[in-house]
Chain A
Amino acid sequence: MFGWEFPPHILGGLGTASFGLTRGLANQGDVDITFCLPKPWGDEDQSFMKIVGMNTVPVVWRDPDYNLLKSRYRWMDPQDYYRFRDHIYSDFSNLYTNDLGCIEFSGRYPDNLHEEINNYSIVAGVVARTEEFDIIHSHDWLTYPAGIHARQVSGKPLVIHVHATDFDRSRGNVNPTVYAIEKDGMDNADHIMCVSELTRQTVINKYHQDPRKVSTMHNAVEPLPKEIQDIVPQKKPYEKVVTFLGRITMQKGPEYFVEAASLVLKRTHDIRFCMAGSGDMMNAMINMVAERGIADRFHFPGFMKGKQVYECLKASDVYIMPSVSEPFGISPLEAMQCEVPTIISKQSGCAEILDKCIKVDYWDIYAMADAIYSICNNSSLYEYLKAEGKKEVDAITWDKVGGRILSRYKKLLGIK
């Protein structure tokens, strides 16, 4: 598998999804997974698969000491380094490499992202020549070139996993370079898995793929660990909290949330709104809140990580995700795990598998405001969504997704 992010060091939903999916697949048994990451931190969970750090794979021949390797990369076997070294397939000495002959990766989304993607695929060539495998699985467009490269080297079938397309990220103003990479990946793939039917339709219609090779593989959620389940919700009896949690960008539709909030606050005053996260539209949103005159009731706590996210969720009475275009959207599922009634836009992929939540059009601020008001004012609706939502989301597990992926693999490989 080729991926870009992996917990605990994640920047978006991609890492979480890659992790859950891999574990779900590993739990099926009889599956060995090697997961390639640009820059592992060493604290990733390797109990169910092997992680290969692309920044530890040499592309230029060097002869470091075993003990040096041992001290530099404590979490990996230095023997792997030598194995990879035997499969350097071309002269890459013109590239910038470190003293071990490896290419450095930032593991994030830097300005020279395209260069990193290219380097990633160069390294992937070495890995593909070294490791033995039956199938290649690439997560998101950053790793498609690597997947294609590995497929050409090994002749094994390539599955690409579409977690998002550029159409979702840009509300239609597609970056041509990104589109080209995505399209190339899809054209060369033997099978395309999409995280929702919504994404599947985009892939079919905008990337002109044959519907027969495109399937839907909905995401799932990991059960909450004990320490998070034990967080005691900090709720105030005299007011309700409505939370938006995510990157504050065009894709997530934050302005619709602000509009709905200002409508709600025209009628009631015992509701607070919280927009957690950061993003390029944050300042615009702060401005907008001030213009509407609701800044005393509308808060921006900033970017949240790990446990903070769950503390924030548990303190909320309503979770809202008004995304304009969301390939899947895992956060409403997390909110439902925390027993928070959830409002999502119909333009989100997760709307396809969720029933015990309120769905509205992202632009319908009146419906959104009405739904917020209703949950805050009618305890029966609140209790119903809280209890039934939890039940529903608990039944959505990665193991089921893993099973579906495995059967798809078998079909591709012709195993019955």
Chain B
Amino acid sequence: MKTICLYFEIHQIIHLKRYRFFDIGTDHYYFDDYANDTSISHIANNSYLPALRTLIDMARESEGAFKVALSLSGVGMEQLERYAPEVMDLLQELNNTGCCEFLAEPYSHGLSSLAPNGEQCFREETKRQVEKINRLFGQKPKVFRNSSLIYDDEIGSVVADMGFKGMLTEGAKHVLGWKSPHYLYHCALNPNLKVFTRDYKLSDDISLRFSNPSWESYPLMADTYMDWIQNSPEEDGIFNIFMELCALGIYQPLSSHVLDFLRALPACAKERGIKFATPSEIIKSSKSVSAIEVMYPMSWNDEERDTSCWLGNPMQREAFNKLYSIGERVLLCNDKHIRQDWDYLQASNNFRFMTTKNNSVSMDRGIYESPYDAFTNYMNILADFMQRVNWALPQDMDIEELNAFQTTIRNQDKKIQSLENQIARLKSAQKTKKEPVRK
């Protein structure tokens, strides 16, 4: 039986403000609240709200047959809570239908999994995102998806080590080769981690091409789409259709009736005996056909499906290396603001703005005019941020020394408490000793 695994990503970045180098050391607020507010409201109104309502309707109408997976970055959740709480309400409603599985992902939507010394950061931020999802929706995610579906064997083994059962990634042609994305695979370094590979053709048909009148399949209808799936080879079992949720409404405008298309999918699937399932259900019901070897990181971005749009040029690499050079220190830091800024600065979009590749489909660089502009602005902010971290945790101390101090400080209350207890005990012991003397 053919199964569709539908997954949507919810993430929006925190926009950085124009930050000149004169501001280094004097201004510690890096974000453009107005831009954040307007962009989130725009996306919520034109995409998230209508799309989530449609998903809720689909879940109710199909009486449990429709399943969907969602992942939210921590940064994205913070944004939504602040500027568009109604989206969070709808997510709760969708969660209550029982048709929705929430996945884990790094809190910041950053590239910590790629940093040579970033494993600690990666584990820490994933843990935080999982806790947040658990707190909000009462689900403990079992399946992981990395920022922009970045995956290689090493990342897979770390993810498996964290206790996840499955992971989503891109079905990149250069990795799969003759293999089909329509099967379940497992990580080459740890067979316990199942790997889902995205069918980029079927996914991009919706997220990239749906409203393009010069596309040969335009206009795409739900029954045609389901026919494609049904007419695929007999043995093909799993169809991984992954995209950003804002593909529905932003990349493909609502006027293209993309939501009506989506709404018609469950009925068309039912007629053809195709079912929907969440990643966890698939892991339970299916077996992996083979290991998948991924030597170099791949992602769902650009033609190359690699990490070149974030780390392709030396500027991006310098910014990235500088950022993660202080990762361990930031984790030792208890300052709430530093921790928060750390999350926001990690978001991969910041690096994307610095790309000098010119094949990116009409890229939106936000407030930046050029990659150099984006780089300059980011480096100014990073310089200030690094200075703050160094103020909080002096640079000339090494990590272990700091760690020792931190432990001492963290334990001082306990220590004092235990000492006080001891004093009290001794005092009372003394009393009891003295009392018989008085008598």
The reply to whether chain A is a binding partner of chain B is yes
* A residues apposed to B, CB below 8 Å: 263, 266-267, 358-359, 366-367, 369-371, 373-374, 377-381, 383-385, 388
Bound-state Cα–Cα, A380 to B316, Å? 9
Residue of A whose beta carbon sits closest to that of B20: A370
The answer, yes or no, to whether B218 is at the interface (CB within 8 Å) is: no
Q: Which residues of A contact B413 (CB under 8 A)?
A: none
Given A358-B370, A383-B314, A384-B314: A374 in contact with B22 (beta carbons within 8 A): no
Given A369-B20, A384-B313: A379 in contact with B375 (beta carbons within 8 A): no
Given A358-B372, A359-B370, A385-B372: A378 in contact with B315 (beta carbons within 8 A): yes
Residues A378 and B20 in contact, CB atoms below 8 Å apart:
no
Could you list some 15 contacts between A and B, CB below 8 A?
A267-B22, A358-B370, A359-B369, A359-B370, A367-B373, A369-B21, A370-B380, A371-B376, A374-B380, A377-B379, A378-B315, A378-B376, A381-B372, A381-B375, A383-B314
The answer, yes or no, to whether B318 is at the interface (CB within 8 Å) is: yes
Given A267-B21, A374-B379: A381 in contact with B370 (beta carbons within 8 A): no
Given A366-B20, A370-B380: A380 in contact with B373 (beta carbons within 8 A): no
Q: Which residues of A contact B375 (CB under 8 A)?
A: 374, 378, 381
Bound-state Cα–Cα, A377 to B21, Å? 11
Q: Which residues of B contact A371 (CB under 8 A)?
A: 372, 376
A56 to nearest B CB, angstroms? 51
Nearest 3 A-B pairs (CB), nearest first? A380-B318, A374-B376, A380-B314
Q: Determine which of B315, B377, B383 lies in contact with A384 in the assembled complex, contact meaning CB atoms within 8 Å.
A: B315
The answer, yes or no, to whether B317 is at the interface (CB within 8 Å) is: yes
A340 to nearest B CB, angstroms? 15
Bound-state Cα–Cα, A385 to B376, Å? 13
Q: Which residues of B contact A379 (CB under 8 A)?
A: 318
Residues A373 and B21 in contact, CB atoms below 8 Å apart:
yes
A96 to nearest B CB, angstroms? 56
Residues A370 and B376 in contact, CB atoms below 8 Å apart:
yes
B373 to nearest A CB, angstroms? 7
Bound-state Cα–Cα, A367 to B370, Å? 12
Q: Which residues of B contact A266 (CB under 8 A)?
A: 22
Residue of B whose beta carbon sits closest to that of A387: B314
Please classify the interface of chain A as helix (H, G, I), strand (E, B), loop, or mixed, using the class held by over half of its residues: helix
Bound-state Cα–Cα, A381 to B371, Å? 10
Q: Determine which of B21, B314, B319 lies in contact with A370 in the assembled complex, contact meaning CB atoms within 8 Å.
A: B21
A289 to nearest B CB, angstroms? 20
Q: Which residues of A contact B21 (CB under 8 A)?
A: 267, 369-370, 373-374, 377
Contact pattern, B 367-411, Cβ under 8 Å of A = 1, otherwise 0: 001101101110110010000000000000000000000000000
Bound-state Cα–Cα, A383 to B318, Å? 11
Kindly name the residue among B369, B372, B375, B377 whose own CB sees the greatest number of chain A CB atoms within 10 A. Answer: B372
Q: Which residues of A contact B318 (CB under 8 A)?
A: 378-381
A30 to nearest B CB, angstroms? 36
Chain B interface residue count, Cβ-Cβ cutoff 8 angstroms: 21
Residue of A whose beta carbon sits closest to that of B24: A267
Contact pattern, B 192-227, Cβ under 8 Å of A = 1, otherwise 0: 000000000000000000000000000000000000
Residues A374 and B372 in contact, CB atoms below 8 Å apart:
yes
Bound-state Cα–Cα, A371 to B376, Å? 7
Bound-state Cα–Cα, A378 to B356, Å? 17
A361 to nearest B CB, angstroms? 10
Residue of B whose beta carbon sits closest to that of A373: B21
Contact pattern, B 140-161, Cβ under 8 Å of A = 1, otherwise 0: 0000000000000000000000
Residues A378 and B379 in contact, CB atoms below 8 Å apart:
yes
B322 to nearest A CB, angstroms? 9
A347 to nearest B CB, angstroms? 14
Q: Which residues of A contact B369 (CB under 8 A)?
A: 359
Bound-state Cα–Cα, A266 to B22, Å? 8
Residue of B whose beta carbon sits closest to that of A358: B372
B386 to nearest A CB, angstroms? 12
Q: Which residues of B contact A366 (CB under 8 A)?
A: 20, 22
Q: Which residues of A contact B377 (CB under 8 A)?
A: 370
Which residues from 295 to 351 on chain B have a C-beta closer than 8 Å to any C-beta of chain A? Answer: 313-315, 317-319
Q: Which residues of B contact A373 (CB under 8 A)?
A: 21, 376
Contact pattern, B 65-90, Cβ under 8 Å of A = 1, otherwise 0: 00000000000000000000000000
Q: Which residues of B contact A385 (CB under 8 A)?
A: 372
Residues B373 and A358 in contact, CB atoms below 8 Å apart:
yes
A405 to nearest B CB, angstroms? 28
Bound-state Cα–Cα, A406 to B373, Å? 39
Q: Which residues of A contact B20 (CB under 8 A)?
A: 366, 369-370
Bound-state Cα–Cα, A251 to B379, Å? 32
A296 to nearest B CB, angstroms? 20
Q: Which residues of B contact A369 (CB under 8 A)?
A: 20-22
A320 to nearest B CB, angstroms? 14
Q: Which residues of B contact A381 (CB under 8 A)?
A: 315, 318, 372, 375-376, 379
Bound-state Cα–Cα, A402 to B14, Å? 49
Q: Which residues of A contact B24 (CB under 8 A)?
A: 267
Q: Which residues of A contact B370 (CB under 8 A)?
A: 358-359
A345 to nearest B CB, angstroms? 13
Residue of A whose beta carbon sits closest to that of B22: A267
Given A358-B372, A379-B318, 10 additional A-B pairs, CB 8 A: A267-B24, A369-B22, A370-B20, A370-B376, A370-B380, A371-B376, A374-B375, A377-B21, A378-B379, A380-B317
Bound-state Cα–Cα, A267 to B24, Å? 9
A359 to nearest B CB, angstroms? 7
Q: Determine which of B22, B313, B319 lies in contact with A263 in the assembled complex, contact meaning CB atoms within 8 Å.
A: B22
Bound-state Cα–Cα, A359 to B372, Å? 9
Q: Which residues of A contact B317 (CB under 8 A)?
A: 380
Given A266-B22, A370-B20, A374-B21: A380 in contact with B315 (beta carbons within 8 A): yes
Bound-state Cα–Cα, A380 to B370, Å? 16
B371 to nearest A CB, angstroms? 9
Contact pattern, B 167-210, Cβ under 8 Å of A = 1, otherwise 0: 00000000000000000000000000000000000000000000
A364 to nearest B CB, angstroms? 11
B150 to nearest A CB, angstroms? 22
Q: Which residues of B contact A388 (CB under 8 A)?
A: 356
Bound-state Cα–Cα, A383 to B317, Å? 12
Residue of A whose beta carbon sits closest to that of B314: A380
Bound-state Cα–Cα, A390 to B313, Å? 16
Contact pattern, B 20-32, Cβ under 8 Å of A = 1, otherwise 0: 1110100000000
B214 to nearest A CB, angstroms? 28
Residue of A whose beta carbon sits closest to that of B321: A380
B382 to nearest A CB, angstroms? 10
Q: Which residues of A contact B314 (CB under 8 A)?
A: 380, 383-384
